[in-house]
Each structure stands twice: as C-alpha cells, then as structure tokens.
Structure 1
Amino acid sequence: MRSLTLPIQAGRMMITTRREELALEDCLAGATRQNPKRHYLFVSKVLGKHWPVRPRVMRDVHRRLAEKMAHLPGPLLVIGMAETATALGRGVAEEAALQTGRDDILYLQTTRCRLSRPLAFGFDECHSHAPDHAVYLPDPALQPLFRAARTLVLVDDEISTGRTLAELARACLRLNPGIEQIALVCITHWLSVTQQQQLTALLERPLLFPALIEGSFQFEPDPRFPAPVLPWVIGHPNRSHDDIATDSARTGLIAGRWRTNSLSQWESVRARGRKDQPLAIIGTGEYAYTPFRMALALEEQGYDVRYQSTTRSPILVGDAIACRREFLDNYGDGIPNYLYNLDPVRLPVIVYEHPAMLAAHSLADDLGGLAVAVEESCRAS
C-alpha cells in the first residue's frame, strides 16, 4: 500500500493504492475536465485515448485483463463503454477468445450513434458531458447467444463510484434476467469494500472486479479555481448514422474471429510514408479497435508507431494535457471533438470507419497528415 498526490489545476487528487499489477505512474496521470459536473480526470497512459501509447503496451493491458475473466461461465456477453473504452472492451473480448479458443464470447459496445434498428436498452452516464448511451440488439443470428448469456462482463477504463456500470448492468438484467454473475473489468478501480458490497446487493448477483490497479482516491478542490464552462454545442440530435456507422461492434460480433490479412489500407500508409518516419495512428471517437489493430500491425512490421484517438471529452490544457486540437466530429453531428497530446514529429494518420468521411472531414489536411478508411474491408464477423 502506498499514497501519492497528483496536483492538477482544479485541486489535488490524493491516491492510495492497495494493489498495483502495473505501476500507477506508468498507467495514469491527472488532468482537469472542462466540465462543471466533475473537475478532475484520470488520464490513462495505456488506453490509447488522450495519451499516445505504444500499441504493444495496449495489447499487454488487453491480455492481462482478459486472463482475469476468460474462464468465466459462458456464454459471455462483453460490453465496452463508449467512447473511451471501446478499444479496451473489444481488446479484452478478443484476447479472452484467443487465450481459451472459446466461441461463445459475444461483444457489443455502447454507442451514441442513432441507428434504425431495435434498441436493447439505453442509460445515462450521470457525470458525463454527453450522457446518453444506447445498446442495440445484435443481429438476429446472434440474438440466441445474447439472450443465453450466463456472465455479463462490463469493461471501462476506470471505476470510481460504479454508478454508471450499475445502470448498464440493471438495464441488461431487465432484458436478460438469466445472467448469473457480473464482472466489472477496468484498468483502475477505486471502490471500497463497502461500495463493492453495495453494488453486489443492488444487482443481486455475484460480482467480480478484475483490475490492474486497486485503491481509493479523494479529490480536494482548489477554491480559487474558476468553475469551467462546457463548450457550446448545437448539434443535430435526430440525425441517423445508418449510412456511415459500419463498425460491427455496435451490432454484435463473436470475439476471436478478427482477421488482418484484408486490411489493404495499410499498404496505402506504407506507400505514402517512409519506414523510418514515426507515425501517429489516430482512431476516431467510438471507432477505436480497428485503428488500434492497424497500429499494432505496423509496429510489428518495424514502424515507430504511437496510437491514440479523438474524443468528445473536453479537457483543459495543462497537467497531463500538453496540447489540444478542437474540430467538429466526423459524423456530421456538429459536436466538438478533440485530439490531445499529438506528437508534432509524427505523421498523423486518421482512421475512419467509412470512406465518405475522407472527403467530408478535414482533420488530416489540417494536421498535415493522411486519412484512410478501413472498416468496409475488414469486417470479419
């Protein structure tokens, strides 16, 4: 057990760890949200979101967490939390399938995209700047596996109170009352024993808490810090995303069937860049796992690669955030998006899930980089 303090603009984050499978300093730093609901933010150094990370480091995290839940009774329903933990959630599901060879792991992710298909359930993330989440029913061929799930695995980057995951679990249990146990999987969890017991009683199922770092924290606000104001958002709340939201993770897939031999767009990146040129492979919002695998494949072929992704989360520059780019989202919703801590010496490669975004979104040109769309050619399940 050890204690440390992370000073940020909005105050101090005081942390006590009970267990560290990976060193805390290697996994996270602190930052200040541009959000009056919650001022502090844990910035993960291994997630591939706000902080550039080596792809092999990300995969090591996926493998470590997968080892902690791959043995659970199946079928397993694994749900990754949008937008931050979509690559993490699918990575854990894929690695669990690879480690065991099992074919009963169904992966879904929550989404803020609006699709014209049956909704399984929706719920809110109370502290978020963008609270509405949706989970869509899987394609008909996968619905028997969805409804037969015995274990529910919810994946997020960190758990501070457990309220959001509890809301998701309760919504899922109303649809699938036959679920026998639940695992809340994360990189860092800050729940006390009492909080874990309260969640177990609330959900009326055995609960597991697989994590790499366990502990507790307190945030001490600085009374001199002015409360930040959320960015002004107009947006298009009723816009449909059917024509461009092609990632099958939103509609269900069986983990372990990923294949990489059809990702021909890698050749485009190789042809347009030098092998000795450092690369920044950049996913876009919820669409994070395929760009991560692209970055991992390039790294395995000898390229100097870092991976990160754009986000809807507004964070103030300072603390763990060295720089910030702001632009409108690539889905045409008029939502401000951000890219943090981009290394200026690396060639940015923006990875979209639909080719229409290449012409409609100017981020690559603004950054002096490249843009590719790969999802159409790599859907494997």
Structure 2
Amino acid sequence: MNATSDPLVLSRRSVMLPTGQLEVALDQGLEEADALLGFAARANAKRGFLFLSKVLGKHWPVTPSNMIAIHDRLAATVPAVDGPVVFIAMAETAIGLGQGVFEAWLRAHPGHPALFVHTTRYRVGTGPLIEFEEAHSHAPRQFLHMPEDPALHALLLKARTLVLVDDEASTGNTFLNLTEACRRLNPGIERVHLATITNFMGAAATAGLSGRFGLPVSMGALVSGEYRFTPGEYTVTAGEAQRFDPDTDRGASTRFGRLGLSGALPAAEALAAQLCGEFAPGATVLVLGTGEFMHAAMLLGAALERRGVAVMVQSTTRSPILTWGAVGHALRFPDNYGEGVANFIYNVAPGQYDHVLVCHETAPNAALRELAGLLGARLLHFLTEDQVEEVPVR
C-alpha cells in the first residue's frame, strides 16, 4: 500500500477478520463504498478475505432495478470502439453482472456487432475449450467454450476489443491469463477494457496494465483503491470446491451464454404475469439463481418488480464464507450440478421471505429438492429463455 501521506488516498480502513487483518485504502468511490460493498472472511487457504458486493446479487440480496443500474453504469465505462466487441463474464460470481453489462451496452449501441460469452466450470457439448486459471479462487480451473454457431464464432475471431467483466480486480492475473488465451485464438484483438465494481489493484498497477498486457488496457470501476491482507492463524476446514471431469455432463445449458449470444435474453414475462396473480398484495419474494445460472433469474425478478412485486434477487454459490461481518446467515446444501461439492446461500434465513423461487438450468434432482425444503421454495426449471416448468418439490 502507498504511504499514509499519499494525497490521493481519501479513506483508510483496517478490519480485523477471523482469518487475518485487512487494510484498505480508497481513492475513488468513497461516498458510496459502504452501499456497494462489505467485508467478509473466506474459508479459503489461498485468500482469507472477501470484498462482498451488495449490488452483485450473489452473496447479498438486491433489487433487480438496483442491479440493472449498476450494469448501466459499468457499460458506460466502455470506451468508444470500432469493430466487433466481445464481452466475457467471469465465472462463477460475475456471470450475471457481465451479462447485464453486455445487455446494457447493447441498449446504448443498437446494431453494433457484439458477442457475449461467459467462462464456466462445466463442459457443455463436445467443442474445443480454452482453459485458464483463477489462481486465488477456491475452485481455480475455468473454461471458455468456443461458440458453435458460425456467425458467433466469426464474431469472436473478428473482435478488435475485449471487455472482461468481474465483480473485483485485485491482481489482474486472471484477466491477463484470459486475454493471452483469447489473443492466441484471435491475434487481431487491439484493446482490452476491464469492467469491475471494485478495483483494488492500486493506482500504480492499474496505470501499468497496458504495458503488462502488451496492448492498450482501460479500466472502469465504481470503487478503486488498494489493500493489504495479513493472514492470521485461522485454520481453514472447507472441503474441495471443484471436481472437473471433462467427460461428465453436469446438466449445464448451452442456451444462456456458455456458447455465446449476440443479443439480450428475453425475460420470462408470461411466468411473471402468472406469478403476480398468485402472490398476495405486499408479499415479499426472493428469486434465487443457482450457481452459474444467474441472469435469467434476475430477468424474472425484474419482470416481477415492474409489476409491483417487492422482490429481491440472489444466487447460490460454491464459495465457502464464514458467518461474520457482511455474512449474517449461511445455509449449506449439495450442489445441483452433481460435482459433489458443497454449495451455500448467504444472508437468507428460512421464513425471511413470503415466497422463494429457485431458478435452475439443471434437471430436477435431490439437491434442488433439499434446497427447496430448506427455504420452503418453489423450483422453476428453465428449459429455454422463456419456457419454464415448475417442478414438484415432493
């Protein structure tokens, strides 16, 4: 971290976590930092802290309209570009964020050729994969599928700009790994833009991105600064969080972004209209995505919100986080993708909402029914963007 005399630093904070001491210095976004993020402790030997976003819809409930406002703001940070643009969202946490930023950018640039694809920890189909590593993650292996549709594949190969979206930038290593993998595939990439809610790389590292990447790199973030973490003596007991088998079908869908999209997903408007007729006036509703399946759930929540429902959106996760700080409640259950790793939902207690709608892409299974039982929830299986079937819980 910079010396305390640095005139750019507007705020400093030292937080003692169960896993160690986190020191943060902000130089942008001070006025809204508390509204955008909190602090949590990871059960992760590689990284014992978490900048927990309050507007991401992953570990903290958020209204769909607030999420969409964040998407619009981050999309507005993308510089003017020529030629096709490829937006890549980082699994697992930022898939919904990246897809929302892509759709916000499309609204502002109608007709501009663009491709959205998100990284994943599951194989779908039999096509080629790009593999890269998110070294500090509890589940480090990530994959990028090549679009199978010829037009989408051509967009990827013709792109001149990469827009990489994540909730947080701390070292830039994952962005660099992915950029290098994409440039091996498409040497014509001319520039990279990083869009994040928080950027904790520090001013010097951010200024040095272009030299490090070997091409022009710009950064758009709502909060920026730097951090230092001093690990404590906490012993991590969390189990394995990734068991990738390239020959195993985990039930992940090809329809929602893994193989690429050139347009926005439609919301499940008919389902939203039906649900509104079933909810009592003033009822509180949680729309819960599952794992990497996030954006379609948010769109359903937005459709309900437009109809006057008091709705929040969130998602399950495989990230083990301690009940401390910005995490007031935690539930653990099996993962619905069948890897045999623990999944979690944070800051949601049974009975907190009048209705919980669990949105999932995988076929109905025992893990989903267990989750539904924990929360008294309904299960909504998204077969396509707007074809959704309700699954009996019992």
Asked if TM exceeds 0.5, the reply is yes
1:17-36 to 2 correspondence within 5 Å?
17-20=26-29, 23-36=32-45
CA contact (8 A) 2:250 2:338 kept: no
Q: 2:44 touches 2:138 (CA, 8 Å); kept in 1?
A: yes
Query: Quick check: 1:179 aligned with 2:186?
Result: no
8 A contact 1:117–1:136 mirrored in 2: no
Report the equivalent of 2:297. Answer: 291
Which sections of structure 1, spanning at least 5 residues, go unmatched?
none
Q: Structure 2, unaligned stretches of length 5 or more?
A: 1-9, 388-394
Which shows bigger deviation, 342-351 or 311-320? Answer: 342-351
- Corresponding residue of 1:316: 322
* Structure 1 residues 162 and 349: CA distance shift in structure 2, 3 A: same
Partner residue, 1:348? 356
Q: 1:160 aligns with which of 162, 165, 170?
A: 170
Q: 2:375 aligns with which of 343, 367, 371?
A: 367
Counterpart in the other structure of 1:57: 66
Give the deviation of 1:272 after TM superposition. Answer: 4.3
Task: Quote the Cα distance in structure 2 between the aligned partners of 1:186 and 1:56.
Answer: 18
Structure 2 residue aligned with 1:146? 156
The answer to whether the 8 Å contact 2:124/2:252 transfers is no
1:88-99 map, 5 Å: 88-99=97-108
Partner amino acid, structure 1, of 2:325: D
Q: 1:120 to 1:140 in 2, by over 3 A?
A: farther
* Aligned alpha-carbon RMSD (Å): 2.1
What amino acid does structure 2 have at the position aligned with 1:290?
A
* Matching of residue 15 in structure 1 with residue 24 in structure 2: yes
Q: Which has the higher contact order (CA 8 A, sep 6+)?
A: 1
Mapped to 1, the partners of 2:48 and 2:180 lie a distance apart of 27
1:109 aligns with 2:115: no
Answering whether residue 390 of structure 2 is matched by residue 378 of structure 1, we say no
Give the partner amino acid of 2:270.
S
Q: Are 2:91 and 1:85 aligned?
A: no
Instruction: Tell me, yes or no, if the aligned pair for 2:60 and 2:347 is still in contact at 8 Å.
Output: yes
Distance change >3 Å, CA 360–CA 98, structure 1 → 2: same
Alignment correspondent of 2:266: 259
1:300 and 2:310 equivalent?
Answer: no
Q: Which residue, 192, 201, 204 being the options, matches 1:191?
A: 201
CA distance, structure 2, for counterparts of residue 22 and residue 258 of structure 1: 33
Post-superposition CA distance 1:188-207 (Å, at most 9, x none): 10123432344322321000
Task: Quote the offset at 1:274 in angstroms.
Answer: 2.3
CA distance in 2, matches of 1:194, 1:219: 18
What is the aligned-residue identity percentage? 35
3-state SS in 1 of match to 2:318: coil
For residue 301 of structure 1, report the CA deviation from its aligned partner.
Answer: 1.0
1:279 alignment partner, one of 274, 285, 303: 285
Could you tell me how far apart the structure 1 residues matched to 2:365 and 2:250 are? Answer: 17
Question: Within 2, Cα distance between the matches of 1:336 and 1:269?
Answer: 30
Residues 1:128 and 2:137 are matched in the alignment: yes
Residue 277 of structure 1: how far off its partner (Å) = 1.2
CA-to-aligned-CA distance 1:50-104 (integer Å, 9 cap, x gap): 0111111111100000011163233100000000000000100000000121331
Q: Distance in 1 between matches of 2:332 and 2:251?
A: 25
1-structure distance, mates of 2:367, 2:48: 33
Secondary structure of the corresponding residue to residue 325 of structure 1: strand
User: How far does residue 235 in structure 1 lie from its aligned partner after superposition?
Assistant: 4.9
- The number of aligned residues is 374
Q: What's 1:118 paired with?
A: 127
Deviation at 1:373, TM superposition (A): 1.9
- C-alpha separation between the residues in 1 aligned to 2:36 and 2:244? 36
Displacement of 1:184 after TM fit? Answer: 1.0
Equivalent residue for 1:248, pick from 247, 256, 266: 256
Conserved 8 A contact 1:29-1:43: yes
TM-score by length of 1: 0.92
Change (3 A) 1:312 1:227: same
Q: CA deviation digits over 1:228-282, x for unaligned, max 9? A: 1222569573453375424330000013x4333x543324533543232101110
Q: 2:238 aligns with which of 220, 230, 238?
A: 230
Structure 1 residue 219: Cα displacement: 1.7
Tell whether the 8 Å contact from 2:269 to 2:303 is kept in structure 1 after alignment.
no
User: 1:82 aligns to what SS in structure 2?
Assistant: coil
State how far apart, in whole Å, the 1-side matches of 2:311 and 2:229 are: 34
Return 130-139 or 191-200, whichever deviates more: 191-200
2:364 counterpart letter in structure 1: M
C-alpha separation between the residues in 1 aligned to 2:111 and 2:22?
41
- Distance verdict in 2 for CA 1:242–1:284, change over 3 Å: closer
Supply the distance in 1 between the matched residues of 2:133 and 2:49 (Cα, whole angstroms). Answer: 20
| SS of match in other structure, 2:112 | coil
Q: Structure 1 residues 375, 27: CA separation in 2 closer, same or farther (over 3 Å shift)?
A: farther
Contact 1:317 1:324 in 2 (8 A): yes
CA-to-partner distance for each residue in 1:9-54, whole Å, 9 max, x for gaps? 2233222111118611001111111111111111100100001111
